[in-house]
C-alpha cells in the first residue's frame, strides 16, 4: 500500500512539475512558482515567446537580405512559399485596403506555429537542463499558457475595434450594436447579442489555441510516465519501447494539430479584420 501511494505521489509531482510555470512576483521582486495574481510574470512563457518571435524576425530578415532570383536556396524557397501562402489567404478573404493585414497574418501564422512546435520537444529535455542549472520549474510551450493566448487574442480584438471605428466611424460602429440584426425596435436585445458576439471573438481565439496545445502537452507527459520509476528491471525495456512508439505516433499526429491551430488563429484574425472593414451601402 505504501509503495502504491508513493508511486501515485511521484506521478502527481511529475505532472505538477511539468505544468508549473517559472514565476516572478513583481510585488516581492523574487521568483516564486507558487505565487499568483496580477503582478506575477510567467518568465518562461514570456521568454520563449519573445525568443521565438525574434527567431522568426531574424530568420526571415536574413533570408530577405540574401534573396536572389538566380539561384534561390532551400530556405529562400521555404520562406517564399510561406509568404505566398499567407498572402493568398489574405487576398481570398480580406476585401478591404490595408497594409497591415498581410504582414500581421504572416507574423501570427509563423509565430504561433513556432510556439506550438515547442510541444514536440521531448518533455524532459529542457526542464531537466534547466534543473541542472538550478531552475526548478520550466514550461517550454508558450501557447499552453492562457496568459499568452489571451494576450494574442486581445491584441487582435483591439485591432478589430480600432479598424471598425476607423472605417465605420464611432456612430457607425455603435449603430451596429443597436440595429443588427433586428432593427431599432429591438435595440436592447440587439445590443446584448452584439456584446456576446464581440466578447466571444477573443475568448474563442484564446481558448481554442490554449485547449488544444495544453491537451497535447498533457498527453506527452502521460506517455512519459510509462518508464517513470521503472528503474532497472525486466519491465524497463518494454516500457521504454512502448513509450517511444506512443510518443512518436502522437508526435506525428500532433504536427497536424500544431500547424492547424496556427492556421486557424491566422484565418480567424483575417476574417475578423475583414468584417471590421465592411460598411453598409
Catalytic residue selected from 21, 212, 227, 274 = 212
Widest distance between CA atoms in the chain: 76
DSSP 31: E
- Give the CA count within 13 Å in the CB-facing half-sphere of 216: 30
Spatial distance between the Cα atoms of 208 and 112, rounded to a whole number of angstroms: 13
Active site residue 77: no
Pairing of β 40-42 and β 23-25: antiparallel
Phi and psi, residue 78, nearest 5°: -65, -45
Cβ atoms 206, 146 nearer than 8 A: yes
Active site residue 204: yes
Element spanning 25, H or E: strand 23-25
Catalytic residue selected from 9, 10, 12, 204 = 204
Cβ atoms 40, 24 nearer than 8 A: yes
Active site residue 116: no
Catalytic residues: 204, 208, 212
Amino acid at each position: 500500500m505504501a509503495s502504491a501511494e508513493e508511486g501515485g505521489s511521484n506521478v502527481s509531482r511529475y505532472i505538477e512539475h511539468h505544468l508549473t510555470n517559472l514565476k516572478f512576483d513583481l510585488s516581492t521582486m523574487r521568483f516564486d512558482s507558487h505565487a499568483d495574481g496580477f503582478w506575477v510574470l510567467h518568465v518562461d512563457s514570456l521568454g520563449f515567446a519573445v525568443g521565438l518571435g525574434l527567431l522568426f524576425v531574424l530568420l526571415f530578415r536574413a533570408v530577405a537580405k540574401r534573396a536572389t532570383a538566380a539561384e534561390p536556396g532551400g530556405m529562400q524557397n521555404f520562406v517564399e512559399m510561406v509568404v505566398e501562402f499567407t498572402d493568398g489567404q489574405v487576398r481570398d478573404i480580406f476585401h478591404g485596403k490595408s497594409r497591415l493585414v498581410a504582414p500581421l497574418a504572416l507574423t501570427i501564422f509563423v509565430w504561433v506555429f513556432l510556439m506550438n512546435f515547442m510541444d514536440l520537444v521531448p518533455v524532459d529535455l529542457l526542464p531537466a537542463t534547466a534543473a541542472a542549472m538550478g531552475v526548478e520549474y520550466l514550461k517550454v510551450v508558450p501557447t499552453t499558457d492562457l496568459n499568452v493566448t489571451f494576450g494574442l487574442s486581445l491584441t487582435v480584438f483591439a485591432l478589430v475595434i480600432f479598424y471598425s471605428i476607423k472605417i465605420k466611424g464611432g456612430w457607425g460602429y455603435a449603430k451596429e450594436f443597436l440595429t443588427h440584426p433586428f432593427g431599432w425596435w429591438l435595440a436592447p436585445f440587439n445590443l446584448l447579442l452584439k456584446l456576446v458576439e464581440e466578447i466571444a471573438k477573443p475568448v474563442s481565439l484564446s481558448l481554442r489555441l490554449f485547449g488544444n496545445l495544453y491537451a497535447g502537452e498533457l498527453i506527452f507527459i502521460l506517455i512519459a510516465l510509462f518508464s517513470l520509476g521503472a528503474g532497472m528491471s525486466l519491465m524497463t525495456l518494454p516500457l521504454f519501447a512502448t513509450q517511444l512508439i506512443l510518443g512518436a505516433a502522437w508526435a506525428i499526429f500532433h504536427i497536424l494539430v500544431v500547424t492547424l491551430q496556427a492556421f486557424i488563429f491566422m484565418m480567424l484574425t483575417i476574417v475578423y479584420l475583414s468584417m471590421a472593414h465592411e460598411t453598409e451601402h
